Amino acid sequence: MDTRKRFFGTDGVRGVANLSLTCQMAFSLGSTAVQVLGPTLVIGRDTRISGSMLEAALVAGITSQGGHALLAGVIPTPAVALLTRELGADGGVVISASHNPPEYNGIKFFNAEGYKLSPELEDRLEAGLCVACVQDDGSRTSLPTGIDVGTAEPISDAHERYLRHAVHILERDGLSLTGLTIAVDCGNGAAHYTTPEALRRLHAKVVVINDEADGSVINVHSGSTDLGQLTQLVKHSGADLGLAHDGDADRVIAVSASGAEIDGDYIEAICALDRKATRGIPGNTVVSTVMCNIGFIEAMKEAGLQVVQTPVGDTQVLTTMLSGGYAIGGEQSGHMIFIEHNSTGDGLVTALMLLAALQRSGKSLDTLAAESMKKYPQTLINVQVADAERLEGHTALAEATAEAEAELQAGGGGRVLIRASGTEPLVRVMVEAADRDTAERIAQYLAGRVKAELT
């Protein structure tokens, strides 16, 4: 049996930069990508300190195979997907660890159509990490040499192409953001320029924090994983709402004028109901994951819409959307895919779709959220463990979960979901219940059991 560690997780290769994600790995991935995807590759990155180091190694791998690297610089992940299509490249590469802390980084890929790679293509890139490109005698007879090596060049209008695309989504429907004051927390990540600029071009008043592009503090007490600063900014500035991105800006979480968190479930519900009212939804179906709130499913059912649930991960959501011909899919984390506007999760596009629904309704975000769905109290606890893979098939934890679910059903409904993270050494324990105290109590109990059994 093959017991080698697998490098690709739910969203590319990820790890602590220069420790579990090395320059050698980046070089190998760049070299292999030319062979697997093709010679012309668009590269973008977020603001992390290690980004330029990994970019240099990735470019070296690409050009060593005679490939051509088109450098978009610091730019949101969805912009790389868009540029890959617009420029007719063979693939796209993003250097980012998304919502993870600054010491992490990652490398993920798009194919020529701007979609995340199939498992088969990822397997071929994975294999490249295990193959040495230098022969035993040190020769490189299979590689181009001299003037035949590849090149790297910047994309001079990378941001402008992405901005034009995003802004046009509202402009073509005759919508603007005139009259809205919008607070934005860029999380010191890749959206530090594009999101504030797009909102200004649509005539909103914009107040911004954490837009210094300081990669040493990307996602630190800021952005979509920590709404504290944004909530205060919304209240102090009198903004109509706030928007928070993660490090690579493929997701967004909103904050209402009252300071309420409007997560991906609310955003998807609002956008789905707006789309149904304006021009209908293909198949009367939206896509979400097993993490979505029960209240979301009930609200969609009441509106005559079916919810198809997938395992966690945007690739799972996208695959289901493409196979079923569905237009809207997303995750509670704020990672939304509007397939008509981009081929991957896009935090800016998601924000604009939410704002379009807001403008068409003439209502506040608080009102629109309350009308879209009623959320069941939910508690999510991340448990640090030594080996998250031991969760699968663990009898004692399965029994504890079954007992908790039985208690919830007897007390008014709810559910339990315990799963291993695909990007970190964590087990996520999620409990929904009819009341918050019950959800918190059962979640704490199960988290304690996970820690005891798997640490």
**Which SS3 state, helix, strand or coil, does residue 328 take?**
strand
343 is an active site residue: no
Question: How far apart, in whole angstroms, are the C-alpha atoms of residue 238 and residue 189?
Answer: 24
Contacts of 375 (CB under 8 A, 6+ apart): 265, 266, 293, 295, 296
Q: Give CA–CA dist 327/340, Å, rounded.
A: 7
Burial class of residue 237 (count of CB atoms within 10 Å of its CB; 0-12, 13-18, 19+): middle
CB 21 within 8 Å of CB 107: yes
- For the chain, how big is the Rg over CA atoms in Å? 22
What sign for the dihedral angle of Cα 343, 344, 345, 346? negative
Out of 31, 50, 98, 343, the active site residue is 98
Q: Is 363 helix (H, G, I), strand (E, B) or coil?
A: coil
Q: What is the distance between the alpha carbons of residues 441 and 447, in angstroms, rounded to a whole number?
A: 10
Q: Tabulate helix, strand, coil % of the chain (nearest 5).
A: 40, 20, 35
Q: What 3-state class would DSSP assign to 281?
A: coil
The packing angle between helices 23-36 and 51-64, to 10°, is 40
Catalytic residue set: 98
